[in-house]
Amino acid sequence: MNITKKSNSIKTNGDLQTPTSNGMNIAFFGSPELAVTVLEELKEKNIVPSLIVTQPNKKVGRKLIVTPPPVKTWADKNSILTQQPEKLDEEFISKLKLEKWDLFILVAYGKIISQEILDIPVKGILNLHPSLLPKYRGATPIHSPILNGDTETGVSIVLLDNKLDHGPILAQEKITLWENSISEMPIESDLEKTLAQLGGKLLGETISKWLNNEIIPQEQNHEEASFCNKFKSENALIDLKNNSQENFLKIQAFNKWPKAHYFGRDNKRVIIKKAHLKDDKLIIDRVTHEGGQEIDFK
């Protein structure tokens, strides 16, 4: 994998300061592992929220074990108060309003934020989005540049408004996905980790400057906006007779979910765990049958 930091396009009107949450009342909205990575990066910058809002516990796996979201586990380890509302209803909002909030941070939370919540914090809500907005607004901004064979992607820090990934940009940073050959394209899970770390660092730098009124928000060019939707299992179906490059990009994009697969002679699903391109041909390295162990394709 060849992911390299390319540029930093933070637009500010002041010098960078060491971020800190001391004296600032900040709430963090997030749920998956990506958000945990961001929280760790913020903690390194001495930015620790006083409240974390995350999704309710869910039944996971074949045994349906009730499991908290990764952010809840992180909050417990760090002794941070959590709320896990089923809905962001009036009861929840009224509790939020009992305190004065300086800032909310939103990272892959998974619920729609109403205007009433947007209006609560003095400095609004900062949202970390893992794409170069206005490109790839929507639910799958990490998968989509891989599927489309893009040479670059990145992260954007935006001031949240009441439209989907629409708010003005406070900071942006690009990375290169591949330079010499599309065969260098990373898998989605690795790209997610890279963008989470990059975004967490950029968010840490941006928060301090935003709270100190040192950033001039930049309106997005909405005419250039593109959108990406959620994927279903059938989107990850591989026809081995199709274009090798397209199949390879599907395998790289769907390695975590919904998992690139084809149906074998017994009509059972075969999940492709690892593959590569050689002389423009798709070479499958590792697979697993439905419910089986990972094995060498040969």
pLDDT in tens, 149-203: 999 999 999 999 999 999 999 999 999 999 999 999 999 999 999 999 999 999 9
pLDDT confidence bin for 83, thresholds 50/70/90: very high
Residue 233's contacts (CB-CB under 8 Å, 6 or more residues apart) are 258
Strand partners, 154: 174
Each as own residue / partner, the long-range contacts of residues 43-48 (CB below 8 Å, 24 or more positions apart, any chain) are 43/78, 44/204, 45/18, 45/19, 45/20, 45/201, 45/204, 45/205, 45/207, 46/18, 46/19, 46/20, 46/21, 46/22, 47/19, 47/20, 47/21, 47/204, 47/207, 48/21, 48/78, 48/80
Contact 167, 161 (CB under 8 A): yes
Query: Where do runs of H (alpha helix) occur along the chain?
Result: 33-44, 70-77, 90-96, 115-118, 143-147, 188-211, 244-253
Higher pLDDT, 298 or 6: 298
Residue type, 95: K
Contact 69, 55 (CB under 8 A): yes
Helix axes 33-44, 188-211, angle to 10 degrees: 40
How is residue 129 annotated by DSSP? E
Distance (Å, rounded) from C-alpha 252 to C-alpha 272? 10
| Residue 158 CB neighbours (<10 A) | 24
Sheet of strand 294-296: strand arrangement: 261-263, 269-278, 281-289, 294-296
Give the pLDDT score at 2.
Answer: 45
Distance (Å, rounded) from C-alpha 43 to C-alpha 20? 9
pLDDT in tens, 244-259: 999 999 999 999 999 9
- Catalogue all structural domains in the chain, each as residue range(s) with its CATH number: 4-224 (3.40.50.170), 233-296 (3.10.25.10)
Contact 146, 253 (CB under 8 A): yes
Contact 38, 128 (CB under 8 A): yes
Query: Is residue 10 over pLDDT 50?
Result: no
Phi/psi-derived region of residue 267, left when phi > 0, alpha when psi is between -120 and 50, beta in every other case: left
Residue 157 CA, chain-centre distance (Å), reads 12
Is 107 strand, coil or helix?
A: strand
Residue type, 171: A
* Mean pLDDT of the residues in the chain: 91
Sheet of strand 103-107: strand arrangement: 4-8, 169-176, 152-159, 125-129, 103-107, 26-30, 51-53, 81-83
β 269-278/281-289 pair status: antiparallel
Q: How many residues does the chain have?
A: 298
pLDDT in tens, 48-73: 999 999 999 999 887 899 999 999 99
